Structure 1
Amino acid sequence: MSRLIGVGVGPGDPELVTVKGVNALRAADVVVVPVMAAPDGKDGGEPGRAEATVLHYVSADNVVRVVFALNERSDRARREAAWDTAGGRVAALLREHGTVAFATIGDPNVYSTFTYLAQTIGELVPGVVVETVPGITAMQDLASRSGAVLTEGTEPLTLVPVTAGSRVLKEALAGPGTVVAYKFGRQAAEVAEALRESGRLEDAVWGASLGLPEETVRPAAGLGDEPLPYLSTLIAPPRRDGGRGGKL
């Protein structure tokens, strides 16, 4: 029986891969890591964050790069063609090896490439068993590194991808609880303005490349007009009265 396992390997720090995740990677017949496509549709050459993390635990001989159009947002035909090719490659690996682990940054069920891959493989390999191993998310890592508290008591937590548009972020900031924004780097100026309008700029924090040598963790009050790394994460807590247990 073929098994496809989506393994969350965290935001970048290899120490944040769970024991269960490491065991799943090592037990798989082959570990697939996604890489960005170059303009010609081939392997862009640079190792992705998932691959760099996986290589701390698995021999390179057991790792297979599969090209995905991860950076393609305008040419739908090119993106779809890349997905078909990637799906066919992983399907062939499943038929050959039986158990394939797919390493994804963060968690495989939170804005992950794995979701789409699993749908494609389900059509190409009837009867395939799809499983996931949860991973530490960027918002958890940023909260830890910055000291931000994600939720207290009855506060809700809202997660939005800013790629959906600044309006979605503004609506979330107008509501209660903590707002976490993913993928906001290219719209940093719009995000800063939305934080100012909502009165949340002072307590907000952002981070990028968490757990890597080039890691950045800074107050959102310093956001300017220049774009940040695409995979930047923002935490905007609500105003709290400081009372202990007041929202329990």
Structure 2
Amino acid sequence: MPFPPTPAVQVVPAAFQLAAIAPDSIAPFSTKEAAQARLLALKARLSELQELLYAEHRRSLLLVFQAMDTGGKDGAIEKLLTGVNPAGVHVAAFKAPSTNELNHDFLWRIHPHAPGRGHIAVFNRSHYEDVLITRVHGLIDDTTCYQRYTDINAFERLLTHSGTRILKFFLHISKEEQAQRLRARLADPAKHWKFDPNDLKERKLWPAYQQAYEDALRHCSPPESPWFVVPADNKWARDLAIAEIVVAALEEMNPQPPGVSFDVAAQVVE
């Protein structure tokens, strides 16, 4: 896939270090105002490409979003998909697993939400939770975690072989930015519903989460289903980076509408 101009970094496992990527990076963008026209053009093209993908009904696209608390997954997904035909899009949010889900393998609850032909599926959190929060809280040991990396790679390879293009985004914010966003939620009564006191407990585990993310991204970023680390302190740069990557992938897929089985010229509408 031709790599578009964006502050996002595609994870190359052998050389990847999360700490080397600045969460506030905006290069090569300059200002929010300069980025808006480009984002509008990308969103218009995304709408066209999504319609063609839907009409083609042969392949699909899966977008995976992960982030620390307040990382901006909801906002990024909303910004990307506003204006896209909802008939061809499915968003799945994965919270703590239910008792029934825990009675099955960790991928059991994920597979039914994979996109069907012609569709775009979006995972707001995903199967990666089972090598992140579970590892940080000691619910699985390292042996199990590394086995799950293998299982995840096999699962994503299966989807790829079945015609699904996979793009994965880690929205990379700084600890300082997270603090500002948490304070903003507490300061605004209209945003109190977004605040969870447990976020403060998870915040104390920041170094462990950063290590868990680095390990997961390093072990699960093959060329056919890459991770992109998106600097996300600046929301406008985050949104533009994601749109650049998604549109570039769809352009490369080059979906085409199906042919028709009738003589178009012979059809007369009275």
Q: Fold conserved (TM > 0.5)?
A: no
By percentage of residues, which structure has more strand? Answer: 1
The alignment's TM-score, normalised by the length of structure 1, stands at 0.34
The alignment's TM-score, normalised by the length of structure 2, stands at 0.32
By percentage of residues, which structure has more helix? Answer: 2
**Greater RCO, CA 8 A, separation 6+:** 2
